[in-house]
Structure 1
């Protein structure tokens, strides 16, 4: 989608034909309907793709960032995995003697290189880097799991003080004053601490018998509480006290089981993280002691978070279907998260009331290529649009994230009927072979149409919501065309225009719909005096 960027500048004649052809061919959006309500008009678009942004090298990173910028992405999230940065840091006796975990130079320069190059490349393109500092931990940074525990040992009871030393090193490196061989590194001002702490793949154990409580209790919230508090202080100590720092990175679903490996429901995790029971009342006495709640005495002000990060996946369910599990929080019931946090803020005072919500992973895997976990290509595009709409509709949501620009490679050593073949994620806007999916254009220009009932003229009305994301952050006052096609009709007719009233490209409008038909919106680029229309894919009001 490089053409979306190049249309804002003067294009040489020799490439104009290719740009126009690509623009017309790719930009077509899908939609699904939903009712329009009060919303957050300013909402940042985030994208995450560690494979492209971190692991695949400078050329892949540059192309990914160009595509993301062209699509209207304002922020990129990247995982800074503690064990990866620390790999080889104590590989020899000399290194072990000199090792200082809070000094960036104690870690191999090559381990920093992907992140150094990412923050530099993002800065050049006006994209904000958002670094998630997370485990798994290096060998010296975690406890040893009991024999027979079916967990990744590097996730077992990470040492919060050792993690804080790592955070301090990262904070120093990206303070805006640190110099490497290429010069002064840019400052990073957007962070989160750990990833999906309610999932055993990132933190373990999830549940554990506690002698003081006399029963099994949630252990991962205790571990994460210490990791976050010590890590948050380390960010402050390295000059980042006033930066954006997110807490949570919580997953949407979980299990009612209570074992070391059972994924924890977000409601259970959040309650215990804030030292409250399932009624929202603070733990007292032995229950507070068992959960280590006295740690807050060491950290005045509690978590001091800018916002709560959450991953509101629905897996293969529609974004409209609320989860059956009590305590699960997906995009379909995202308002429950704000209500839960506000109740706990009032009862525990460990977080601020009205804490903004950042939806920092969201997507749908597709079939093809994944027949086990994927939805159809058209459904991915539609449900992505609807997920974006539901995020926009909630005034607490400050950002929405697309997880993956491009599909990861399948694990080809396993056969097509083997689930292990599909272990990687296939939720990109491009297939792994770089062929675009319908969701690419759906992401660039989402649209949702909802039936409004009968209007003043006695005919049915529809509400149309959309976003010219690819124009962000310069979308204000841009002109959008609204078009309608009656059932069975071959041609589209113009139904007026509207002006975008915000920088992020969101718009809403109401139109008469008789008889019920299809709707689309269009934006027209003026490229070297040639008008190039960009259309959304037809959308019908579904309810």
Structure 2
């Protein structure tokens, strides 16, 4: 296993729930009807953003593949509405040898750096009209802290914030849009506008220690303070080169364990990162407030509507547990700079059967794509990245794409391109939401036998979002259509 790729071990670690969760609770919750839907809103006052950008974070197919295959899959991503690709930047692979000085470390021309693979990945992504998010992670040995215990996962122990900052400076300068392309003489490398410091810093497989012993023997959070220094170093160095760039805080994993045991719950991590304590969010001393432009979370879950059983966990419908903390931090100047903090989701998925016999049916996977996009959107999320575009041929990872390994599309690919939900809201009223592939007037159609009959027309935003509540009846099968593009049908019964 390497930290730069999505291994079976790391994926399973993210999805583990607290051991005390009874199976009976899971089975009961899966049968509960959907909760109340937000009140009706005019087009000018949507209950969510006016746009929803989607993308992929597939480090196997869109990053590590050889150039021709990567191009094929980037074209497919583009064809189903992806506008973002998340690329994991493996610091250890680019800088296995320490640059001679800090000044040289901030210089992308330093011979200690090998950028060839990353250059090609970014150029291919941009050529397919994808915005690129670069997630800096996986430090080289020379950038790690000393005296790591044998229990620490290699490559995670107290990474140097100053060294990471210098590396971020080099990355931001190389992909500023002005750095000479070493292959295409006379041209510049593409500009990247989105940067992220680390991945899932509340997991010990990415950052350690998570906890340390206090003076009186109790466990104290350690990773938030370590990460705060890392994030601030990345922020300062990226902004020094590209003041207009967007710097994201790392996406947190959804669940945790009791203090001192492995994972830190995301609510605990965010509180500590933002110098707040306890459920009351008491203000703690905060001499070096954290800096970021947008926040991120990875809400892996059983379904898009089941809440995390642990109050400090954060599943799909629980994002308010994090945004509440961020709002208090904003009011008390514990997060800088001032201004809105958009919410991104850079990892989410569900596996399908086939090919994974233990996973959910293909139709359910497609339904979860649309439902998750809606649930996240109505909580204010502006960007959602499905993890894998294509099934990966490994045990327990072979069903998570929206395409089969063969290249055939699953129903979830259509749901990704044109997500649509029709949720009962009581008294024969249906909440309609979707994101059309283009702006225009969407027809809401009801299936009648083998035909579809238009029952409503909804104007979209410039980014294709539409939302309304209509009295249409019950036990319907509805779909949305714009021109030649149609969503999958959605049963309200």
Which TM-score bucket, shorter chain as reference?
0.7 to 0.9
Q: d(CA) in 2 for partners of 1:388 and 1:437?
A: 17
Cα distance 1:283–1:33, how it changes in 2: closer, same or farther (>3 A)?
closer
Paired residue secondary structure (1:131)? strand
Q: CA deviation at 1:241?
A: 2.5
Q: d(CA) in 1 for partners of 2:432 and 2:416?
A: 16
Q: Which residue of 1 aligns with 2:491?
A: 540
* Corresponding position: 1:358 with 2:344: yes
Q: CA deviation at 1:522?
A: 2.4
Q: CA deviation at 1:169?
A: 1.4
Q: CA deviation at 1:234?
A: 1.4
Query: Counterparts of 1:30-41 in structure 2 under 5 Å?
Result: 35=37, 37=39, 38-41=47-50
Query: Counterparts of 1:125-164 in structure 2 under 5 Å?
Result: 125-134=128-137, 136-149=138-151, 151-164=152-165
Please give the per-residue CA displacement for 1:128-151, whole angstroms capped at 9, x wherever unaligned: 1111112x21110102454431x3
Q: d(CA) in 2 for partners of 1:126 and 1:439?
A: 22
Q: CA deviation at 1:258?
A: 1.5
Q: d(CA) in 2 for partners of 1:234 and 1:511?
A: 50
Query: Counterparts of 1:401-480 in structure 2 under 5 Å?
Result: 401-410=385-394, 421-422=395-396, 424=397, 426-454=399-427, 460-468=428-436, 471=437, 475-477=438-440, 479-480=441-442
1:390 alignment partner, one of 369, 375, 387: 375
Q: Which residue of 1 aligns with 2:21?
A: none
Larger gyration radius, structure 1 or structure 2: 1
Query: Counterparts of 1:502-521 in structure 2 under 5 Å?
Result: 502-514=461-473, 516-521=475-480
Paired residue secondary structure (1:248)? coil
Please give the per-residue CA displacement for 1:446-492, whole angstroms capped at 9, x wherever unaligned: 221122333xxxxx232322222xx2xxx222x43322135xxx322
Q: Which residue of 2 aligns with 1:245?
A: 247
**Unpaired runs of 5+ in structure 2?**
1-32, 40-46
Q: d(CA) in 2 for partners of 1:132 and 1:502?
A: 30
Instruction: Kindly indicate whether the alpha-carbon contact (under 8 Å) linking 1:253 and 1:328 is maintained by their aligned counterparts in 2.
Output: yes
Q: Which has the higher contact order (CA 8 A, sep 6+)?
A: 1
Query: Counterparts of 1:201-350 in structure 2 under 5 Å?
Result: 201-211=205-215, 215-237=218-240, 239-259=241-261, 262-278=262-278, 279-284=280-285, 293-294=286-287, 296=288, 302-314=289-301, 317-350=302-335
Structure showing the higher helix proportion among its residues:
1
Instruction: Kindly indicate whether the alpha-carbon contact (under 8 Å) linking 2:53 and 2:83 is maintained by their aligned counterparts in 1.
Output: yes
Paired residue secondary structure (1:398)? strand
Instruction: Kindly indicate whether the alpha-carbon contact (under 8 Å) linking 1:483 and 1:492 is maintained by their aligned counterparts in 2.
Output: no
Instruction: Kindly indicate whether the alpha-carbon contact (under 8 Å) linking 1:323 and 1:330 is maintained by their aligned counterparts in 2.
Output: yes
Instruction: Kindly indicate whether the alpha-carbon contact (under 8 Å) linking 1:431 and 1:437 is maintained by their aligned counterparts in 2.
Output: yes
Q: CA deviation at 1:164?
A: 1.3
Instruction: Kindly indicate whether the alpha-carbon contact (under 8 Å) linking 1:209 and 1:215 is maintained by their aligned counterparts in 2.
Output: yes
1:68 alignment partner, one of 57, 66, 77: 77
Query: Counterparts of 1:77-96 in structure 2 under 5 Å?
Result: 77-87=86-96, 89=97
**Unpaired runs of 5+ in structure 1?**
1-31, 285-292, 297-301, 411-420, 455-459, 526-533
Please give the per-residue CA displacement for 1:248-303, whole angstroms capped at 9, x wherever unaligned: 311221112413xx11111100111122211312235xxxxxxxx54x1xxxxx33
Cα distance 1:130–1:507, how it changes in 2: closer, same or farther (>3 A)?
same
Q: d(CA) in 2 for partners of 1:282 and 1:72?
A: 42
Q: CA deviation at 1:380?
A: 1.4
Instruction: Kindly indicate whether the alpha-carbon contact (under 8 Å) linking 1:47 and 1:73 is maintained by their aligned counterparts in 2.
Output: yes
Instruction: Kindly indicate whether the alpha-carbon contact (under 8 Å) linking 1:144 and 1:153 is maintained by their aligned counterparts in 2.
Output: no
2:365 alignment partner, one of 369, 373, 380: 380
Q: CA deviation at 1:426?
A: 3.8
Alpha-carbon RMSD? 2.6
Q: Which residue of 1 aligns with 2:6?
A: none
Q: d(CA) in 1 for partners of 2:325 and 2:180?
A: 43
Please give the per-residue CA displacement for 1:83-130, whole angstroms capped at 9, x wherever unaligned: 12123x46xxxx879993222233567x42232123223333332111
